[in-house]
Amino acid sequence: MRFAREAWPFVLPFLAAAAVFWPLGWHIPAGSMAVLGVLVLLFFRDPTRNYEGPPDVVLSPAEGTVIAVEVITDSALGEEAWRRISIFLSVFNVHTQKTPVEGVVIGSIATPGKKLAAYRKEAGDVNENHLTLLRRPQGDLIAVRQIAGLVARRVVAHIQAGQRVIQGEPLGLIKFGSRVDVFVPLSYDPLVEKGQRVVSGETPIAMPTDPSTPPPEDFPVRRLAVRNGDTS
């Protein structure tokens, strides 16, 4: 299992405390610190994700539960309507995110804000967040908004404007989880529904109504296998 490098400033103090307490004979406090350190480390796990299927789909960038599939407008994305798929991350989910599509990053925008509970509908509009805009090779725009919440304290984005990315490589993380919104054009059909669990870098969540490459009925084609940013 791999872990995001951002974990260590949070984990090392617990492990250091355990290392100090144990030689002093304070075994219960030492054990408690070690357990807490491991639990915190689990928030930052970054497992390998593999996707097998048609190339036109939008993959879920986050692991969690779909809490909304709706048509909205968003001032940060212009005046047109978008289909928004919102994914809530519980404390038990992986908190690293993956890029949902191949393309070029044309925008990377951090916005300060509140820390409302992420499951609240208005959290996507008023909470601290980071918006990443991706232009697909065929020209379609896909957006991902990482949203801080009641427990989450910081959003981290790993990719920058002008960067070329492939589907499934590391996008960033929300420290201690929260919510991720994905925006696709109205010409895309949603492939998930409210209440469905999704896996980052594996679960297809949307597809163009008229994809350039029609998907095979049984999805036999191996499209991508990305391991922690290794694209070789």
Q: What order do you get walking across the sheet with 96-98 strand by strand?
A: 96-98, 170-175, 154-157
Task: List 154's β-bridge partners, or say none.
Answer: 175
**Whether residue 178 lies in the annotated active site:** yes
From the candidates 60, 86, 108, 178, give the one annotated as an active-site residue. Answer: 178
Q: How far apart are CA 159 and CA 118, in angstroms?
A: 23
Sequence-ordered strand ranges (E) for the chain? 49-52, 58-59, 64-73, 81-88, 96-98, 103-111, 129-135, 141-147, 154-157, 164-165, 170-175, 179-184, 188-190, 197-198, 204-208, 222-226
Beta-carbon contacts of residue 232 (< 8 Å; ≥ 6 apart): none
Q: What does the H/E/C string look like for 108-162?
A: EEEECCECCCCCCCCHHHHECEEEEEEECCCCCEEEEEEECCCCCCEEEECCCCC
| Listed residue (174, 187, 215) closest to 61, CA to CA | 174
* Residue 66, CB-side half-sphere exposure with 13 Å CA sphere: 23
Residues taking part in catalysis: 178
